[in-house]
């Protein structure tokens, strides 16, 4: 048992005007993050998690659930839309990575729950998340920016693909981001995909990783102790954003998707740096 509902204190209640403002703000965040996340293969969690940390209306565990539910909604709608449009997805390797990310996701979420819910290090873990995320995003930005000058591979070893998925899932679950930019970098580096191919296949992997994250919460701590009053608004924003983003990704060139990816990464690096140094 990771924690009891009696010992965990959910986020404080809000007044009606505050709640209306939060609903509108978070609906907009979910919508815009999911449009960009679906379009650039980021998944949305990389945007939602730091922004919710920035506004600081909810505690860290609740932010993780809100982000995962929104990203899952986005990925589901995006995959349905892409399937109807018959867009090519590398399901064979994608499934192996996804399976590995599910295993890694359980481990990463367990580590997060242990330090935050059992030991009570929420503030420290929040700083660690923002710091690691900023460093990872910087590395990924440099790699994507200069990928044309770097060697890429065509990985065939199934065990290697599985282990890569486990590492992705572990990092993504602990950071609460869904794994989008990590997926993009891995797919480009290990499978020589261009930005457009990687963005599409990244969404496929994200679907399974976020589903496993929510299943873990449901089967361990349960959802009753979290303040999820705005979750359906965020799921709505994620669903609409996934639909819009999946339409854009079919129309945009790989170069434009890469440019959007890089711009978003830079913005999120700055927000994560702020989240580290604030208060």
Question: Residue ranges of the domains in the chain?
Answer: 16-277
Query: What pLDDT sits at residue 31?
Result: 92
Q: What is the dihedral of CA 196, 186, 166, 81, to 10 degrees?
A: 0
| The Cα angle at residue 22 between residues 19 and 25, in degrees rounded to 5 | 150
Query: What pLDDT sits at residue 68?
Result: 87
CA distance 180 to 207: 10
Residue 99 has phi, psi (to 5 degrees) of -65, -45
Q: What radius of gyration, in Å, describes the C-alpha atoms of the chain?
A: 18
User: Average pLDDT by consecutive 10-residue portion of the chain (279 residues)?
Assistant: 40 72 90 82 76 84 88 85 67 82 84 82 85 85 76 82 86 76 80 77 80 82 84 92 82 80 85 81
CA distance 87 to 134: 32
Rounded alpha-carbon distances, angstroms, from residue 195 to 1, 14, 97, 140, 225: 41, 42, 18, 13, 40
Nearest to 188 by CA among 180, 198, 196, 174: 198
Q: If DSSP codes are grouped into helix, strand and coil, which group holds residue 127?
A: helix
Residue with tokens 């819910």: 117
Say what the pTM is.
Answer: 0.79
């Amino acid at each position: 048992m990771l924690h009891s509902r009696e010992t965990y204190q959910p986020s404080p209640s809000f007044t009606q005007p505050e709640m209306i403002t939060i609903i509108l703000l978070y609906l907009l965040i979910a919508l815009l993050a999911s449009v960009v996340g679906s379009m650039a293969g980021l998944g949305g969690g990389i945007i939602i998690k730091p922004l919710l940390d920035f506004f600081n209306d909810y505690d860290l565990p609740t932010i993780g659930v809100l982000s995962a539910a929104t990203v899952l909604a986005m990925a589901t709608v995006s995959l349905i839309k892409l399937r109807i449009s018959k867009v090519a997805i590398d399901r064979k390797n994608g499934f192996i990575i996804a399976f590995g990310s599910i295993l890694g996701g359980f481990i990463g979420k367990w580590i997060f729950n242990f330090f935050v819910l059992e030991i009570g290090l929420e503030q420290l873990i929040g700083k660690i998340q923002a710091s690691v995320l900023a460093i990872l995003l910087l590395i990924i930005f440099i790699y994507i920016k200069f990928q044309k000058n770097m060697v890429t591979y065509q990985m065939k070893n199934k065990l290697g693909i599985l282990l890569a998925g486990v590492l992705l899932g572990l990092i993504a679950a602990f950071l609460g981001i869904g794994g989008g930019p990590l997926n993009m970098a891995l797919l480009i580096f290990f499978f020589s995909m261009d930005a457009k191919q990687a963005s599409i296949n990244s969404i496929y992997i994200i679907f399974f990783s976020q589903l496993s994250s929510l299943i873990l919460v449901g089967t361990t701590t349960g959802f009753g102790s979290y303040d999820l009053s705005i979750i359906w608004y965020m799921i709505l924003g994620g669903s609409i954003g996934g639909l819009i983003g999946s339409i854009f990704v079919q129309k945009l060139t790989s170069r434009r998707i890469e440019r959007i990816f890089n711009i978003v990464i830079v913005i999120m690096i700055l927000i994560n740096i702020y989240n580290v140094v604030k208060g």
